[in-house]
Amino acid sequence: MRIIRLVSLFIIGLLVSHQAGASHLAGGNIAYTFVGMTPNGPAFRIVLTLFRDCSGITLGTGNQTVTARYAPGVNCSAPIPGANLSLPGRPQTGGQVEVPCQLEVTPTTCNGGTRYGIERYEYDGIFVVPSSIPDQCRKFIFSFEICCRNTAQNYVGTNGEDFYIETYLDATSAIVPYNSSPRFQRFEIPAFCVGDPAMLIFDGIEPDGDSVVYQFITAKNGPAATDTLDYTAGFGLTRPLNSSSPIIINAINGNVTFTSNSSQVVIVVIRALEYRNGILVGSIMQDVQVVTGTGGICANVRPTWRPRQFAMNCGDSVLTLTTQTAFRCASVTPAGSEFRLTDPDQIITPAFSANPINCVADTTRTVQVRLFQPFIKNGRYTLRTKTGYDGDTFMNICDRQMLEGDSVNIDVVGCFSYADAPQIVNVSVDSIDNKSLFIDWTEPPAFDYAYFKSFNLYRRNPGSPAFVPVATITDPTARAYRDANPDLDPSKNNYDYFINLSYLITPVLPNVSREAAFGGPKSNYIFNYDDAGNPEDLSMLIAWQKYSGWSDSTFKLQFSADKDPNNWIVQAIVDTTVDADNVYRMMYDKPVEEGGYRLRVYTDSLNYRSYSNWINFNVPSRVIEIANVVTPNGDNKNDTWKIDNLRFFPNTKVVIFNRWGVKVFEDGNYQNQWGADAEIGMYYYTVNIPGEPTPRQGMLTVLR
């Protein structure tokens, strides 16, 4: 149903008293379309559209003259060939604009009657931009002027004033492809009932895809900038008529909405400014006479809901609604877009379909609305009427609309409802495979197995704003779930989880359920180390973030050897630091024994334990092995005297004696460098390793 449109019989006295000698033009515009290139330049079809108030003198279907002149600011002396365009009338011009209400049988003024009537006239012709005119001169104004206007309440002394409209075209070579002006696609009789929401429908479009700005302008009576009509007191550029609601131009199509609060005959003029790459390339103005009043079809009653309140049971999904007066069946969209249903928590519930029933001659007083889902909450729902996909609400046969927001209250009873959702209480890395995650939750208060349907677990992956379903758990006794998705990597990423509860609103309707509010989210925490360190270091920097599952967490450290992976040994956590992001850091001393190890942290709260992921590291051998042979022959094998793993014991002192007890070498921080120049023979050594109470002694032989 289109917003309240067109009425018929209006304040004839406002019109009749000023008919003498007037053409009574009720509107018009000049449009142009680029139609192609000719040998003499680009060609444009110029279309003059006029709307005649049938209570005035005849307009005629013969030629009308549109004048072309240079646009303001263009300083050119060359005359414009064909500046006065004589446009012939199109076939069937002068036809009556559609009369709104078919129930009204009184003839219009176009057919000798008294009802308000308007005729549409169209004239067109071709204008070729002359190639003889310099390029910078090819900016034109096309205008039309004729006597006369009706008296309009919003302007002073309009009776007998000329009617003037104009259009701007930029046809310079910079505007390529050449431009076609915006269009006003529709014209409906601009006559409305006082107090009704109304719309001047133009449905403006721009065929070239350029940007368009719509604005109110002052009505003109001639081509000069000063040839404008003077507003009556109380009216102005942004208030061209009396309205109890804001007067708004739709930025998309130029349609004007308002609500008349008095009987009036006024002139409303809008202009569409067309821009391409920020440059004004064209404009078109629409001048229109608007009439508002009472009487005629204004006396018919708009549809309203009756009754406005009723009760329904939990699980019902079909509403049967009635109106006080009949409405047109065709004004109901099958998708039910004219309805907005809000539940007791003010959450919008969409309708699934709407179907008018008992239609006779396209009218009825009954419509059935099928909901997208049944009623699943106790309490008061409110069904309100709104503008549907077809651009209107419900209309009677005279296009009188039901007002937006006309409401019906529905009181629903019989639904079960959990007050709270289950709550996630723990998220932990699997202590066995280090890839899966365990999620623990508690049941909601007043948990009733008779209404249970499922627990529904969701996960949000790193970098994603959305949660995805993980599992639907139909065991009502379940309180934990292992998420073993192969794409999980808890050693590098946090994963957020939440859970909710699907429950039956009533056991007798097992297919009708709803969900309790979400419980969560909570996530795992990550354990890592500084992998930029030397793997042979005897200590490493480890870090983990504060666990978000509990407000107060006390962490413990565990390690296990690869040779006995299930034997996790607790080790004290000391000398930790915590930064502003709640990240814990500490230097960890590796075990002494050579081999591979795993390391993680965990924290406990009540009956739950949350593990981090574990990290793997190796401990190299620290066993000191002293060679007893040196073969300095250049083969890079035992060319010097080697003490293996000495790198772990800096400041080791060695002393070497020959077979006669003479000291031949001494170093307080030996680096495996002696022997390349040694003479063959037998030698004796002592090795003082820091931390060992007794020096190591032995014999070594140099061979060549």
- Residue 109: both structure tokens together: 């003024």
Instruction: Choose among 666, 678, 674: nearest CA to 703.
Output: 678
Q: What pLDDT, in 10s, does the model give residues 470-502?
A: 999 999 999 999 999 999 999 999 999 999 999
Give me the number of domains the chain comprises.
5
Res. 101 pLDDT band, cuts 50 70 90: low
Residue 540 main-chain phi, psi, to 5 deg = -150, 155
Rounded Cα distance, 82 and 62, in Å:
19
The pTM (predicted TM-score) of the whole model is: 0.48
Q: Both 485 and 546 in a single domain?
A: no
Q: Both 317 and 178 in a single domain?
A: no
Instruction: Choose among 622, 626, 607: nearest CA to 675.
Output: 626
Rounded Cα distance, 198 and 200, in Å:
7
Helix (H, G, I), strand (E, B) or coil at 168: strand
641-642-643-647 Cα dihedral, nearest 10 degrees: 120
Q: Find the length of the chain.
A: 704
Within a domain: 458: yes
Region 172-188: mean pLDDT is 91
In the chain, the percentage of residues whose pLDDT exceeds 70 is 94
Q: Both 575 and 686 in a single domain?
A: no
Answer whether 334's CB lies under 8 Å from 280's CB.
no
| DSSP secondary structure letters along 601-670 | EEEEETTEEEE---EEEEE-----EE--EE--SSSSSSSS--EETGGGSTT-EEEEEETTS-EEEEESS-
Cβ atoms < 10 Å from Cβ of 509:
17
Q: Is the pLDDT of residue 514 over 90?
A: no
Answer whether 43's CB lies under 8 Å from 35's CB.
yes
Res. 199 pLDDT band, cuts 50 70 90: confident
Within a domain: 147: yes
Within a domain: 3: no
Rounded Cα distance, 2 and 394, in Å:
9
The least confident of 190-204, 219-233, 630-644, 678-692 is: 190-204
pLDDT at 212: 97
Q: Both 373 and 515 in a single domain?
A: no
- Residue 175: both structure tokens together: 């505007």
Rounded Cα distance, 528 and 541, in Å:
9
Q: Both 29 and 119 in a single domain?
A: yes
- Cα 694 vs. chain centroid, distance in angstroms? 78
pLDDT at 468: 95
Within a domain: 614: yes
Domain CATH number, residue 400: 2.60.40.1220
Q: What pLDDT, in 10s, does the model give residues 597-630?
A: 999 999 998 789 999 999 999 998 888 999 999 9
Within a domain: 577: yes
Q: Is the pLDDT of residue 16 over 70?
A: no
Res. 213 pLDDT band, cuts 50 70 90: very high
The last residue of a domain, from among 249, 281, 297: 297
Mean pLDDT is highest, among 56-70, 78-92, 205-219, for 205-219
Answer whether 301's CB lies under 8 Å from 325's CB.
yes
Within a domain: 69: yes
Q: Both 148 and 194 in a single domain?
A: yes
The least confident of 39-48, 126-135, 236-245, 343-352 is: 343-352
Q: Is the pLDDT of residue 654 over 80?
A: yes
Cβ atoms < 10 Å from Cβ of 445:
9
Region 329-349: mean pLDDT is 92
Q: Both 283 and 306 in a single domain?
A: no
- Residue 17: both structure tokens together: 């008293």
Domain CATH number, residue 442: 2.60.40.10
pLDDT at 4: 33
How are beta strands 595-605 and 555-561 bridged, if at all? antiparallel
Within a domain: 655: yes
pLDDT at 8: 36
pLDDT at 273: 97
Give residue for tokens 């937006």.
404
Amino acid code (one letter) for 511:
N
Residue-range definition of the domain harbouring residue 519? 423-523
Q: Both 286 and 152 in a single domain?
A: yes
How are beta strands 139-147 and 64-70 bridged, if at all? antiparallel
DSSP H/E element including 166:
strand 162-170
Q: Both 603 and 682 in a single domain?
A: no
pLDDT at 609: 93
DSSP structure class, residue 476: T
- Cα 407 vs. chain centroid, distance in angstroms? 29
pLDDT at 351: 76
In angstroms, the Cα distances linking 505 to 353, 508, 521 are: 23, 9, 25
Region 78-92: mean pLDDT is 89
pLDDT at 7: 36
Q: How high does pLDDT run on average in the chain?
A: 88
Res. 520 pLDDT band, cuts 50 70 90: confident
Within a domain: 1: no
Res. 299 pLDDT band, cuts 50 70 90: very low
Q: Both 38 and 135 in a single domain?
A: yes
Helices and strands counted in the chain (H then E): 1, 49
- Residue 6: both structure tokens together: 């067109």
Amino acid code (one letter) for 241:
L
The least confident of 73-82, 177-186, 622-631 is: 73-82
In angstroms, the Cα distances linking 380 to 352, 376, 413, 415, 420 are: 20, 12, 9, 12, 20
Res. 56 pLDDT band, cuts 50 70 90: confident
- Residue 73: both structure tokens together: 């600011």
Q: Both 147 and 22 in a single domain?
A: yes
Q: What pLDDT, in 10s, does the model give residues 655-680?
A: 999 999 999 999 999 999 999 889 99
- Residue 701: both structure tokens together: 């032989």
| DSSP secondary structure letters along 342-392 | E-TT--EE-EEEEEEES-BTTEEEEEEEEESS---S-EEEEEEE---TTS-
Region 53-66: mean pLDDT is 87
The last residue of a domain, from among 619, 651, 685: 619
| DSSP secondary structure letters along 205-249 | E-TT--EEEEEE---BSSSSTT-BPPBPTT-BTTBSS-BSS--EE
Rounded Cα distance, 71 and 348, in Å:
53
Amino acid code (one letter) for 305:
W
pLDDT at 99: 61
Rounded Cα distance, 288 and 187, in Å:
10
The last residue of a domain, from among 262, 297, 332: 297
Q: Both 204 and 281 in a single domain?
A: yes
